[in-house]
Structure 1
Amino acid sequence: MKGKIYPTAAFLILIFFQHFYAANNETKKTLNKRNYTPKYAQFNINNVSTYIYNNGEADGDPNGNSGFIYPNGTNKAVIFKSGFIWGGIVNGRILVGGSTYSSGLTPGKVFDDGTTQNPDEESVRVYRVRPDYKSGDLSVESSDENKSIQEIYNQYKKDWNEWPAKFGAPYFDTDNDGIYNPEVDVPGVPGAAQTLWYVANDLDSNVAKELYGSTTMGVEMQVTVWGYKDFQTLDNMLFKKYVLINKSQNTFEDTYLSIWCDPDVGDASDDYVGCDTTLSLAYAYNGFESDYVYGKNTPTIGFKFLQGPIVEGASSDKAYFNGELISGKKNLPMTSFIRLLKNYGTGFDDAWLGNYEGTLDTYNFQKGFDSFGNDFFDPINNNVTKFSVPGDPVQKTGWFEGVDKYGPADRRFIISSGPFTMAPGDTQEVIIAQIAAGGDVETDRLEAVTLLKSYTNLAQEFYDFNFYGDNFSSLVPPKVKAIELDEEIVLTWFDDENISKIESQENSKFKFQGYTIYQFPNDRYHQYEAKEIATYDIIDGIKKITTPILDFDGNTESPIKVVKLGSDSGIKRHISIKKNYLNPETQLNNGTKYYFGISAYFLYNNFSLLPQVVETEYFGITATPQLPKPGNSYEGKYGDYLEVIRDYHNLYFNVIIIDPTKLKAGEYKIELNNSATWKNLTWSLLNSNDSTILVNQKVVVKDSLGIVVPNYVYGLEITPEVFDTTKTPPTKSDIFTFISPGAVIGNTEIAKQQVDEINVFPNPYYGTQVNEVHQFDKFVTFNHLPNNARLRIFNLAGQLIKKIEKNDESQFLEWNLTNNKNFWIASGIYIVYIEMPELNKTKILKLAVVMENVVQDFF
């Protein structure tokens, strides 16, 4: 990875004046400096971090160095610069526009009257949004961009509110009124974790000539960049959609669209490139076994045409355009791939910047010729080809880098699709995936190529399903409740309207598979910090879900990674947690906050290439184990089975205590309807005393996949179990009864008896404690307090140091070890006098405090 300097046309004219003058008299002109300063934003939501500029340039950092960082956070780069170019014939003259090392574009939109936005206007920028910016963790962007979290937040908020939907930026129209409303609608590609958008044009001829000397063609280019996080393989790629509009009065004939790239996989001087014609994929990888930057574990980088230009097709053809499937049309694939060899003089050198000769060279490359417009040959089979090095470097078949005379060096490439015609007002749309793979201890340079191709297959499948569209929004996690018990947390997700929506999800794209429970060290709920506690999945024979096509010897049947490991044990909607899974040797401590998350996961239904798990975001919840609150007592325990008295022995009802805090003491009975078949047999739960119906008309026979309809009442889970469905079902005369213990809530006499349990921890306090998140976050916690209490804290001299009023339902109260003037207290012994007027009780505690000296680490 290094900065590069490229000669301008003015410099080249001085050296090669006679050659260029003969070629075209336009070369007499020097380059014009562009009259604007490009703006940029960074895509960095997943394993990729890169720069996107509003003049079409991409992947180079502002200091002129490689800027496509992979993996994110490593400061190791795989691309120096990339861009998008187009070329065609306008009124008999070849013209080329877009951006490569230089840009021929000016930021801003073209209006109907032919005028353009001022590129220096504040509104002419790269907009960036993420749907969860208000609640999501912004620390990755903060670190990557060297900005404060508040700065990141403010810019997200500004771009959300000012999202240029009226100019073509995508958004989810929540209220379906056709008008973007930042209070209601969601900007960006639906389902994406981060979306960037900008618009540029080539109407300024002076700027247009800075690319390859061509005058303006009259193109407006709208660019959308987006990606996903926490979707495993998709975390290693971003997607780009280029929308080109012919804003001129001229027709573009024999037009081509191209991706240009200067890859630098780590060190710039040792790269190879290649293409896969069956995948419409161009890629770069390391030419040597070891790289100066990455070492032996070098990644690959690739560009794939997911959707090429749309052209006329047969009646049976179908093409994607603007999110729709159009009959009688087709999308062109990659039609040429050109490897550019620096300074070899082979007809595959870099095109000259700022000079019309560069236009002719580039257009020839786009058509699949050398720079002189000649055919070139595959050296292995001696056939004319439009694809450089299309062989397989892993299997060592065909023409691949290393079999000809060119060793590892600084490479570039152009991947093109065409030709097509654009009439005035026509629009073309191209979608590409920019994919990275490897770069870890498990993959070497060629294994990374195989991995890249497997990722490419997934990207194509993802596109074929229209990027799942807003189906992502239908994949939601269950809403979780926490039951806080003595040294125990019980998580439940029974009474949630999402449950039936989640568990009935099965269509051409997704199939519900199960739930996964995680523990986290904090409330940021980072995926990489998640510790899996349990997985409850449907009974369907699918346990180990793997990613195939990853055997680096080419064996497509051998997976290398298990992406989800189920147990085939059936669905549960509750779990008891007594252990700290982040430190398995310890139990949960009362009064300590713990952080959990639950997700639903789904199987990607198309198994043809990459069986893939799609997992929802986590529903995060904070829970604190604790003794019963003052005045409360619980007779039952989580997991206890209640004895059910029955008259029919082929059917049984399991009654389990789930939430001891919700139990209601009493006798209950289960009634059945009269049914000739088990399938139609239902049951109801009634209070034996007054016959109040508590659960009505629930089915008896459970789903064959282990999905049981939730039957949850008064803290109990009630599940029927049939031993033999070939026998005659029971009738309404068959009786099932059970007795439930109860929970006492808010009993004043019990609360008075529990006053002795009031305490403070840690005691003594030695400068810090495990629950503090930073050096200024100092506190002790009082527990077992009633809702209303008054605390007065004195030093041993009898001076009142702090007065605290408590008026909430929590039994806990944190004191931040400051006095009434909000200064930290001194080390010493303190007397805490607690008044509880509603209980007519008082309590006195002694607290020892040893304060540490704290030096601020920022000013």
Structure 2
Amino acid sequence: MNRFTFKKRGIAAATVCLVALLIALPSFSYAKTAKTAQRKLNKSMIFDTRNHDVNRIFLPISNESTFGQNIANGSAGTFWPYPATLDAYIFGAGIWIGAQIEDGVDEQGNPVLKPLVSVGYNPNSGDSEMTPGGLPFDKTNPDYRVLMSTDDADRAIWPIRDENDNPVFSSDQDSWCQYNDFDQSEHVLDQDGIPIEERPLGILITQIGFAYSIPAYQDIVFLTYDITNKSRELRTPDGTVRFPNGQTLRDVYLGVVCDPDIGEAADDQITYFKGLYAPPGETEPLELNLGINYDDDGLEASFTNPAGVGVVGYNFMQSPKATRDVFIDPLQTILIRQGEELGMTSLKQFTLETDPRDDG
């Protein structure tokens, strides 16, 4: 199977990113490629999954970053157009967060940097290095489950409140969860030689989802990621604080990795669109920063939607702003000025055979 990553870059102590997942019918031609197979490992039942299901996208959300997957069965979990069909579009997806951290100094006294990546969905194993909950973490606490605004029990403990302590909701169905990368046992010991106890970045992620049932947004689910550097709370196995003053995360990248599997997995492809688009019924166009997964021949024998095979799109609607002038392409032709949003800085495709084996 091909894997697709959509990346943006930022340098900040706290980062907010808004991603829109869209599924719709295509309007472009196709080219042929091949894909490989995947194996999924089930997670412990202390992890929680709930579903966005108020519009035409049925999207599972977990409190370990993985979304779009039926984790319990290790199978595709995203269907469209729901509930009319159960045509599958995503096998699994999640965020990756990478950064450079200081690892001593060289002979000239300059800091030596090493890369670390915390993976929210590993397409080779289906696993995640994220742990449910806030800090200090307790992955058995039931309050760390995925909260849904359509669930009365969840509304009672909803964490977003107004000045009168009433829960605040923004869509027909909000979701809310927190997870972190603190648990060393959830990390994979890669081929780069970095000890397992040094692998966590020390980050806390608050993820909020929004789904609307109105026609203009019935094929979209919005996900926001609020990512905070909490490395002051990282500890060694004996409980010693590793970084009393925290550790600086340099050259931070956030990526969404997706295994789309639009029906049959062997004929999916990617493309990219950047430009203005006005949704039906809207007069003001939106600026799209869109990575697209599509079926290369537009044919899926198992699909039942009479309108045909759709496409999956990821749009970075809001990203961190550049803290300095920076080129985001190898040829140095695309310059993002200080204070401007970085948007999507790269779109990559890879197979299981070329899936990176370390954090470098």
Aligned 8 A contact 1:280 1:304 in 2: yes
**Which of residues 91, 95, 105 is equivalent to 1:84?**
95
**Which of residues 151, 156, 159 is equivalent to 1:161?**
156
**Which of residues 210, 217, 233 is equivalent to 1:234?**
217
Say which SS state the counterpart of residue 265 (structure 2) adopts.
coil
Greater relative contact order (CA < 8 Å, ≥ 6 in sequence): 2
Say which SS state the counterpart of residue 292 (structure 2) adopts.
strand
Cα distance in 1 between the residues matched to 2:253 and 2:116? 11
Cα distance in 1 between the residues matched to 2:56 and 2:220? 8
Aligned 8 A contact 1:102 1:210 in 2: no
How large is the RMSD of aligned CA atoms in angstroms? 2.7
Aligned 8 A contact 2:68 2:76 in 1: yes
What displacement does 1:280 show? 1.8
Question: What letter matches 2:316 in structure 1?
Answer: F
Question: What letter matches 1:97 in structure 2?
Answer: S
Corresponding residue of 1:215? 199
Cα deviations by residue, 1:62-103 (Å, 9 ceiling, x for unpaired): 211111111112111111001011111011111001311320
What displacement does 1:211 show? 8.7
Question: What letter matches 1:160 in structure 2?
Answer: R
Write out aligned runs for 1:759-774 (5 A).
none
What displacement does 1:7 show? 8.5
What displacement does 1:351 show? 2.7
Corresponding residue of 2:79? 69
Corresponding residue of 1:203? 182
Cα distance in 1 between the residues matched to 2:55 and 2:128? 27
Aligned 8 A contact 1:103 1:210 in 2: no
**Which of residues 287, 299, 306 is equivalent to 1:290?**
299
Cα deviations by residue, 1:521-549 (Å, 9 ceiling, x for unpaired): xxxxxxxxxxxxxxxxxxxxxxxxxxxxx
Cα deviations by residue, 1:207-259 (Å, 9 ceiling, x for unpaired): 133799771000000000111112x1211001000000000110111111111
**Which of residues 321, 324, 340 is equivalent to 1:310?**
321
Cα deviations by residue, 1:249-295 (Å, 9 ceiling, x for unpaired): 10111111111100011121221111124432111111114212227
Cα distance in 2 between the residues matched to 1:256 and 1:71? 32
Cα distance in 2 between the residues matched to 1:204 and 1:93? 20
Cα distance in 1 between the residues matched to 2:352 and 2:57? 27
Question: What letter matches 1:287 in structure 2?
Answer: D
Corresponding residue of 1:351? 356
Larger Rg: 1
Corresponding residue of 1:849? none
Say which SS state the counterpart of residue 69 (structure 2) adopts.
coil
Corresponding residue of 2:130? 105
Answering whether residue 139 of structure 2 is matched by residue 119 of structure 1, we say: yes
Cα deviations by residue, 1:758-789 (Å, 9 ceiling, x for unpaired): xxxxxxxxxxxxxxxxxxxxxxxxxxxxxxxx
What displacement does 1:330 show? 2.1
Corresponding residue of 2:25? none
Structure 2, gaps ≥5 residues long: 2-36, 103-112, 232-245, 276-287, 326-337
Aligned 8 A contact 1:97 1:211 in 2: no
Q: Structure 1 36/68 Cα, relative in aligned 2: closer, same or farther at 3 Å?
A: closer
Q: Structure 1 196/289 Cα, relative in aligned 2: closer, same or farther at 3 Å?
A: closer
Answering whether residue 38 of structure 2 is matched by residue 54 of structure 1, we say: no
Q: How many residues align?
A: 266
Corresponding residue of 1:45? 54
Question: What letter matches 1:43 in structure 2?
Answer: H
Corresponding residue of 2:345? 335
What displacement does 1:302 show? 0.7
Aligned 8 A contact 2:43 2:127 in 1: no
Q: Structure 1 263/217 Cα, relative in aligned 2: closer, same or farther at 3 Å?
A: same
Structure 1, gaps ≥5 residues long: 9-32, 111-115, 131-155, 166-170, 315-327, 344-348, 361-859
Question: What letter matches 1:85 in structure 2?
Answer: W
Cα deviations by residue, 1:627-683 (Å, 9 ceiling, x for unpaired): xxxxxxxxxxxxxxxxxxxxxxxxxxxxxxxxxxxxxxxxxxxxxxxxxxxxxxxxx
Say which SS state the counterpart of residue 75 (structure 2) adopts.
coil
Runs of 4 or more consecutive aligned structure 1 residues displaced over 3 Å after TM superposition: 4-8, 33-36, 210-214
Q: Structure 1 339/121 Cα, relative in aligned 2: closer, same or farther at 3 Å?
A: same
Answering whether residue 266 of structure 2 is matched by residue 274 of structure 1, we say: no
Aligned 8 A contact 2:158 2:167 in 1: no
Cα distance in 2 between the residues matched to 1:159 and 1:187? 12
Aligned 8 A contact 2:159 2:167 in 1: no
Cα distance in 1 between the residues matched to 2:201 and 2:53? 33
Corresponding residue of 1:187? 168
Q: Structure 1 193/58 Cα, relative in aligned 2: closer, same or farther at 3 Å?
A: same
Question: What letter matches 2:340 in structure 1?
Answer: K
| TM-score where L is the length of structure 1 | 0.29
Say which SS state the counterpart of residue 91 (structure 2) adopts.
strand
Say which SS state the counterpart of residue 250 (structure 1) adopts.
coil
Write out aligned runs for 1:236-635 (5 A).
236-248=219-231, 249-278=246-275, 279-294=288-303, 297-312=308-323, 329-343=339-353, 349-352=354-357, 357=358, 359-360=359-360
